[in-house]
Amino acid sequence: MGPVKLDRIDIAILATLQRSGKMSNIALAATVGLSPSPCLTRVKRLEAAGYIAGYRAELAWAKLADHIIVFTEVTLADHKREDFVRFEAEIRRVEAVVECHVVSGGYDYLLKFVARNVAHYQEIIEAILDRNLGVEKYFSYVVIKTVTAKDGVPLRFLLP
């Protein structure tokens, strides 16, 4: 997990693997303009340094199962440290919550839910409210259409 300097080739490797994680080392080497041996060395180094968190298959959810996505703004009634800790600990255990962020201004948490349908979402929310986690109010935004959903983030855009 030591610090590793990233040169242009390392960035190219990361960017390529982000798009095609199963590409063979030979194909990867050709893509980034390296011969296979040093390319593999770099990949192993990047993995060991912790820059690659893992490899995942991206599933086609739309084809696999009917589902809806809902973003929910949550405001807690009290704002003591223990209120936050308790809410977060419990929300982590809810399968339907795929993202939960603390945000600045307006409200406390922004959550992203996945559910089979609106009724299913309602069940989930009510189960959360029943647990008395100190939710003062919440507002739900059901996703009607997703315009953009990038798999990764353009590396070159974020790196200086």
User: Footprint of DNA on this chain (CB under 7 A)?
Assistant: 7, 9, 24-27, 33-42, 44
One-letter identity of residue 39: C
Which of 68, 74, 87, 70 has the alpha carbon at shortest distance from 139?
74
Partner interacting with residue 30 (select from DNA, its own copies, none; CB below 5-8 Å by kind): none
Partner interacting with residue 126 (select from DNA, its own copies, none; CB below 5-8 Å by kind): none
Partner interacting with residue 40 (select from its own copies, DNA, none; CB below 5-8 Å by kind): DNA
Beta bridge partners of 150: none
Q: What is the dihedral of CA 105, 106, 107, 113, to 10 degrees?
A: -100
**Cβ 96 vs Cβ 128: under 8 Å:** no
**Which residues of this chain interact with its own copies, rule CB under 8 A?**
6, 14, 17-22, 49-61, 63-65, 67, 69, 71, 88, 91-92, 95-106, 109-110, 114, 116, 139, 141-155, 157-160
